[in-house]
Amino acid sequence: MSSQSIWYAYDPQWALSIRARLNELDVSDLWLFESASSASMPRLILDKYLGNPIRQMTSKKSTENELTYDSLRGDHQTLEALNNFLRQQCWRSAVDWTITYLMKNPSDYHIWFIRFACLIKLRLFQTIESEFETFGNLNSISKLPFSLRLLHAELPIYMDSNHFHDGLDRLFRLLMITNTILSVLPKDQTQLWHRRRLRILYSIANCYILMKRMDLIISILENQIVKNEPVEQQIEIYLLIVRILLQTGDELNAQRAFDRALSLLPSKENLSDGFLLTKELFSLFRNDFSSNKLLTAMKNPIEVNNHCVILLYMSKMKESLDLYEKLIRDKATNIHEAIIFNMCTIYELESFRFTQKKHELVDYISQYVGDGFSLTALKLQT
Amino acid sequence: MSLSITNSGLPPSTTTSTTSIDPTKNVEPLAVRVMRLSKPALYQNIPVYGEEESSSSVDAFLTGQSHDMAIGDDHSVLSHLLVLPYSFGNVFLGEIFSAIVALHNQSDQILHDVILKTDIQTATQRITLNVTDQIDSNKLELAPDQSISRVLQHEVKELGNHSLVCTVTCTDQNGEKHNLKKVFKLPVGKPIDLKTRFILGATHDEYYIVADIQNQTPTILNMTTVDLEPSLAYTVTNMSNLHHENSENSLCEPWRFIRPTETTTYMFYLKPRKEATFEEIHSTPTLGKLDIVWMSGFGERGRLQTNQLPKPTPSIATTNLGYLPDLRIFCMRGLGQCQVEESQKFSIRILNCTQRPMDLSLSFDNIFSKREQFLWIGIISKQLGRLEAHHTYDIDIELVPLTCGLKRIGGLKLTDLSMRHTYDFDDFHHLFVLPKIVH
């Protein structure tokens, strides 16, 4: 069996059973059904409200238009309230919202997906795994959203380094079922499933990245994914390869990957943000720090963050901190965990008053960030 | 170094010398803080897949996720955002220790003549570190609450206890001089565990050197160079990469990477240079040294060289040089394949390894040639003459193979007339004899 065929493998027996139900279901709901040995009703394990820890830390009083779920407020129980929490990245409030809802509607799998999607953002992996177990065999549930199946398959790879193979098992099984579905669909109805199949491959690639399996990462990205994507996406993937190689110390091949991305561009003028950010990473690698950057030219917050990090390596601690303070005050959307983490690290270096400075920072950002923000970024000793 | 921000209880990246928390009680006007400046890493996130057409909430979730600048279109866990080192980490031999030192005026006066000296103290020496930033003048002034910083670099060349010693002097507004010395311990470890072993080659002067390298750092290492620099008399062939598919188009050479705790084996083949003299080959007790260079995240570089590897002493104990036979023969010219009953000429070089001259005479072992089914022809016994110590001469001999097959060619006898000692030689060559093609 050639190594190519694992990517396209499918089971002909499964194909028969899927084909039998082609006329009963929407294309997007197709799946391999295994009958359940016993009926299982999903239930919550985490039923205490998560609340808003950042709000609890700040000394500022809460405002009216603050976005935290309140189980006593009628207007917080609507779907629109949930969607509002989600749009503002208030993952904790969204999770709390789902507790109330799922107690009454335990078989609304779209809301289960929302709940797990928010929990995975909050890194509460064990909770998700335990609650998934209450579902029983996922393949015995009809009309389970595909995104929920994918989240279940990806879950182990984020837990810790002991579960990578569980993740790969689940992802390859998902891939095989998807391949089987593609084998029975008429050619003009395969678009959605091709997109889903490709996304599974991205998840497998992510697992390889976390495992640092250099032999497998580049191979799957180049040989399985790139050729199925349009040119703009191919460029993104090659730039991803550059980042992976620079982070593992392989400058030579990173340069080749960068050149390959460049060769896909119709014109070398006006390089996109992705290219400019990646070029900076090469300078960092080579210790080639030039301070000729026009600060006003940097609009992209990632670019500013990376420049601030490099300023520290040039011993320009004060300039770095000044630029960071300006960045987070410029726009609320510039506030990101990584940026706050970097700022707190520099605070700790700069002076003994870092605890006070961190609290001032919390007071400021608590007005703008959703309750999904991770407090560990603040490096506060509890 | 892959990084996601979790609370794992590792020691913080900043080490501080001041222990008091109440700022009004600080006696020292200046505080010294040091932060390890290993290269940063890329922030890792969790990209969640959803289909916006399935529900309004999924659409809302995806909108929220799209505001996260770390999430890109490539669906990957690796963002473009750089994150500073999470912890102090270990310092490894062969790598460059890099740190930033910050001085903070925590008094309420202007401090004058601020001078910072930074040294590395090892078990054997004290090294003053050069500064890498533009602050040239040693006479600095610091206003209250002002901080300055300096980046230091030091290539770690020895194991054992290392300390970073920061000495700061300044003068306050009353003219009083202040002196502050802070010592930060640096944990130095071995980045790789190297085990070498030797395998003797087919002939006495050839060696295979096998090196096992285990990565003992917590990050993946890209071994850019693992070379053996041979000592003068030898040439080296690097056998480590022969089996790797070197596809021109491939963007990765995965065999170069060693993940933490993994071991990779490298192999080198050494043989003497053609022009090397007997003395050159046999007087050097060493084979060469290993030069190892690696790269890790964003350009962290490391380099180690071993000491000269000693020649392994083989178990055969004979006269003179202790491990060499008195006489050695080498087949210099001759075919490896021929037809049956076709006479074959060979040119043989005889080397006198002893320290005394020999007076040699040649003859053949008929039992050997009978067993192998060939006949020596031409002059089959003669005096060869005097052979000085460490010298060689060449002789021509001729044979006819009588049957087909793979034959061992040997059975020479050399007699040293001065010592009346006969040396027997086994095969010095192999001959593959083919049947004659009848036209």
Q: Is the pLDDT of residue B282 over 80?
A: no
Q: Is the pLDDT of residue A375 over 90?
A: no
Structure-token pair, residue A43: 């239930």
What ipTM does this complex have? Answer: 0.94
What is the structure's pLDDT at A65? Answer: 52
> Of the candidates B400, B393, B415, which has an alpha carbon nearest to the alpha carbon of residue B329?
B393
Bridge partners (DSSP) of residue B360 are: B385, B416
Cα separation, B253 vs B269, in Å, equals 22
- Closest CB to A317: pick one of B47, B50, B147: B147
Q: Which of B286, B310, B334 is the last residue of a domain?
A: B310
A:209-238 residues touching chain B, CB 8 A cutoff: 209-210, 212, 214-215, 217-219, 222, 233, 236-237
For residues A320 and A332, membership in a common domain is answered with: yes
Residue B183 gets the label, from left (phi > 0), alpha (psi -120 to 50) or beta, of: beta
CA distance readout (Å), B31 to A82, A313, A319, A355, A358: 49, 20, 20, 16, 19
Q: Is the pLDDT of residue B16 over 90?
A: no
DSSP string, A240-305: HHHHHHHHTT-HHHHHHHHHHHHHT-S-SSS--HHHHHHHHHHHHHTT-------GGG---HHHHH
**B233 within a domain of the structure (yes/no):** yes
pLDDT 10s digits, A85-141? 999 999 999 999 999 999 999 999 999 999 999 999 999 999 999 999 999 999 989
Q: Which of B284, B310, B336 is the last residue of a domain?
A: B310
For residues B330 and B267, membership in a common domain is answered with: no
What stretch of H or E contains B279? helix B278-283
> Of the candidates A367, A307, A299, which has an alpha carbon nearest to the alpha carbon of residue A332?
A367
pLDDT confidence tier of residue B245, bands split at 50, 70 and 90: low
**B21 within a domain of the structure (yes/no):** no
- Closest CB to B70: pick one of A94, A287, A338: A338
Give phi and psi for B170, each to the nearest 5. Answer: -155, 165
Per-residue pLDDT averaged across A375-379, rounded? 84
For residues A324 and A270, membership in a common domain is answered with: no
What is the structure's pLDDT at B307? Answer: 92
Contact list in B for residue A372 (CB cut-off 8 A) is 64
Considering only the C-alpha atoms of chain B, give the largest distance between any 2 of them, rounded to a whole number of Å: 115
- Closest CB to A79: pick one of B7, B57, B75: B57
For residues B388 and B399, membership in a common domain is answered with: yes
What is the structure's pLDDT at B220? Answer: 96
Say which CATH number the domain at B360 has. 2.60.40.10
What is the structure's pLDDT at B152? Answer: 92
Q: Are B414 and B392 in contact (CB under 8 A)?
A: no
What is the structure's pLDDT at B323? Answer: 59
For residues B298 and B342, membership in a common domain is answered with: no
- Is A209–B78 a contact, with Cβ atoms under 8 angstroms apart? yes
What is the structure's pLDDT at B10? Answer: 41
- Is B251–A256 a contact, with Cβ atoms under 8 angstroms apart? yes
For residues A342 and A278, membership in a common domain is answered with: no
Q: Are B296 and B222 in contact (CB under 8 A)?
A: yes
For residues B107 and B163, membership in a common domain is answered with: yes
Query: Quick check: A284 contacting B, CB < 8 Å?
Result: yes
- Is B151–A314 a contact, with Cβ atoms under 8 angstroms apart? yes
Q: Are A65 and A131 in contact (CB under 8 A)?
A: no
**B156 within a domain of the structure (yes/no):** yes
Per-residue pLDDT averaged across A136-157, rounded? 94
For residues A201 and A257, membership in a common domain is answered with: no
**B3 within a domain of the structure (yes/no):** no
Q: Is the pLDDT of residue A296 over 60?
A: no
CB burial of residue B57 (10 Å; 0-12, 13-18, 19+): buried
For residues A237 and A346, membership in a common domain is answered with: no
For residues B353 and B417, membership in a common domain is answered with: yes
What is the structure's pLDDT at B313? Answer: 67
For residues A181 and A284, membership in a common domain is answered with: no
What is the structure's pLDDT at B3? Answer: 37
Considering only the C-alpha atoms of chain A, give the largest distance between any 2 of them, rounded to a whole number of Å: 70
Higher pLDDT among residues B51 and B5, named by residue: B51
Give phi and psi for B134, each to the nearest 5. Answer: -90, 0
- Closest CB to B149: pick one of A209, A315, A370: A315
What is the structure's pLDDT at A289? Answer: 82
For residue B30, the chain A residue with the least C-alpha distance is A351
DSSP string, B345-405: EEEEEEEE-SSS-EEEEEEE-HHHHHHHTEEEES--SEEEEEE-TT-EEEEEEEEEE-S-E
Q: In 10 A of CB B208, how many CB atoms?
A: 15
pLDDT 10s digits, A207-261? 999 999 998 999 999 999 999 999 999 999 999 999 999 999 999 999 999 999 9
Cα separation, A2 vs A237, in Å, equals 25
For residue A255, the chain B residue with the least C-alpha distance is B251
> Of the candidates B437, B377, B384, which has an alpha carbon nearest to the alpha carbon of residue B414?
B384
Q: Is the pLDDT of residue B373 over 90?
A: yes
CB burial of residue A238 (10 Å; 0-12, 13-18, 19+): buried
For residues A202 and A276, membership in a common domain is answered with: no
Q: Chain A: give the shortest CA distance to residue B165, in Å.
A: 17
The count of structural domains within chain B is 3
Q: Where are the alpha helices (DSSP H) in chain A?
A: 12-20, 53-57, 79-87, 91-104, 109-121, 125-133, 146-159, 164-184, 191-211, 214-219, 231-247, 251-263, 273-285, 301-313, 317-330, 337-350, 354-365
Q: Which of B148, B169, B189 is the last residue of a domain?
A: B189
Q: Is the pLDDT of residue B19 over 50?
A: no
Cα separation, B70 vs B79, in Å, equals 5
For residues A219 and A251, membership in a common domain is answered with: no
Order across the sheet with B382-387: list the strands: B382-387, B358-364, B412-416, B421-425
For residues B353 and B279, membership in a common domain is answered with: no
Radius of gyration of chain B (CA): 36
Amino acid identity, position B264? T
- Closest CB to A212: pick one of B148, B259, B295: B259
Q: In 10 A of CB A148, how many CB atoms?
A: 23
For residues B149 and B199, membership in a common domain is answered with: no
For residues A255 and A271, membership in a common domain is answered with: yes
Give the list of residues 6+ apart from residue B207 with CB closer than 8 angstroms, or none.
B198, B199, B200, B201, B269, B270, B271, B287, B311, B312
For residue B19, the chain A residue with the least C-alpha distance is A352
- Is B31–A247 a contact, with Cβ atoms under 8 angstroms apart? no
For residues B86 and B134, membership in a common domain is answered with: yes
**Range with the poorest average pLDDT among A365-369, B161-165, B320-324:** B320-324
> Of the candidates A224, A120, A221, A135, which has an alpha carbon nearest to the alpha carbon of residue A175?
A224
Q: Are B268 and B237 in contact (CB under 8 A)?
A: yes
Q: Chain B: give the shortest CA distance to residue A220, in Å.
A: 12
What is the structure's pLDDT at A290? Answer: 74
Cα separation, B55 vs B172, in Å, equals 68
For residues A161 and A253, membership in a common domain is answered with: no
For residues B359 and B394, membership in a common domain is answered with: yes
Question: What one-character DSSP code corresponds to residue A169?
Answer: H
Contact list in A for residue B40 (CB cut-off 8 A) is 284, 309
A:330-369 residues touching chain B, CB 8 A cutoff: 333-334, 336-339, 341-342, 345-346, 348-353
pLDDT 10s digits, B205-244? 889 999 999 999 999 999 999 999 999 889 999 998 766 6
Cα separation, B135 vs B115, in Å, equals 11
Higher pLDDT among residues A295 and A167, named by residue: A167
What is the structure's pLDDT at A377? Answer: 84
User: Structural domain of residue B232, as residue ranges?
Assistant: 192-242+254-310
What is the structure's pLDDT at B5? Answer: 42
Order across the sheet with B234-238: list the strands: B192-200, B207-215, B263-272, B234-238
Q: Chain A: give the shortest CA distance to residue B324, in Å.
A: 46
pLDDT confidence tier of residue A293, bands split at 50, 70 and 90: low
Cα separation, B186 vs B160, in Å, equals 10
User: Structural domain of residue A365, as residue ranges?
Assistant: 3-62+71-232+294-378
Contact list in B for residue A114 (CB cut-off 8 A) is 57-58, 61
For residue B14, the chain A residue with the least C-alpha distance is A349
Q: Is the pLDDT of residue A313 over 90?
A: yes
For residues A259 and A195, membership in a common domain is answered with: no
Per-residue pLDDT averaged across B64-83, rounded? 95
**Range with the poorest average pLDDT among A34-43, B132-141, B165-174, B411-420:** B132-141
Q: Which of A293, A325, A343 is the last residue of a domain?
A: A293
Contact list in B for residue A86 (CB cut-off 8 A) is 57, 60-61, 63-64
Amino acid identity, position B259? R
**Range with the poorest average pLDDT among A61-70, A162-171, A238-247, B168-177:** A61-70
For residues B176 and B211, membership in a common domain is answered with: no
pLDDT confidence tier of residue B346, bands split at 50, 70 and 90: very high
Cα separation, B167 vs B117, in Å, equals 5
pLDDT confidence tier of residue A192, bands split at 50, 70 and 90: very high
**B329 within a domain of the structure (yes/no):** yes
Order across the sheet with B374-377: list the strands: B327-333, B344-352, B392-401, B374-377
- Is A370–B50 a contact, with Cβ atoms under 8 angstroms apart? no
CA distance readout (Å), B73 to A140, A226, A265, A274, A275: 33, 13, 17, 11, 14
Higher pLDDT among residues A71 and A381, named by residue: A71
Say which CATH number the domain at B263 has. 2.60.40.1230
The count of structural domains within chain A is 2
Q: What sign has the CA pseudo-torsion A146, A152, A155, A156?
A: negative
For residues B89 and B169, membership in a common domain is answered with: yes
- Is B69–A346 a contact, with Cβ atoms under 8 angstroms apart? no
A:33-72 residues touching chain B, CB 8 A cutoff: none
Calculate helix-pair angle for A251-263, A231-247, nearest 10 degrees: 170
For residues B95 and B150, membership in a common domain is answered with: yes
Structure-token pair, residue B428: 């010095």
What is the structure's pLDDT at A4? Answer: 61
Q: Are A120 and A158 in contact (CB under 8 A)?
A: yes
Cα separation, A222 vs B250, in Å, equals 9
Q: How far apart are the first and last CA of chain B?
A: 72
Give phi and psi for A140, each to the nearest 5. Answer: -100, 0
Q: Which of A273, A293, A313 is the last residue of a domain?
A: A293
> Of the candidates B220, B214, B222, B217, which has an alpha carbon nearest to the alpha carbon of residue B195?
B214
**B42 within a domain of the structure (yes/no):** no
Per-residue pLDDT averaged across A149-166, rounded? 96
For residues A115 and A130, membership in a common domain is answered with: yes
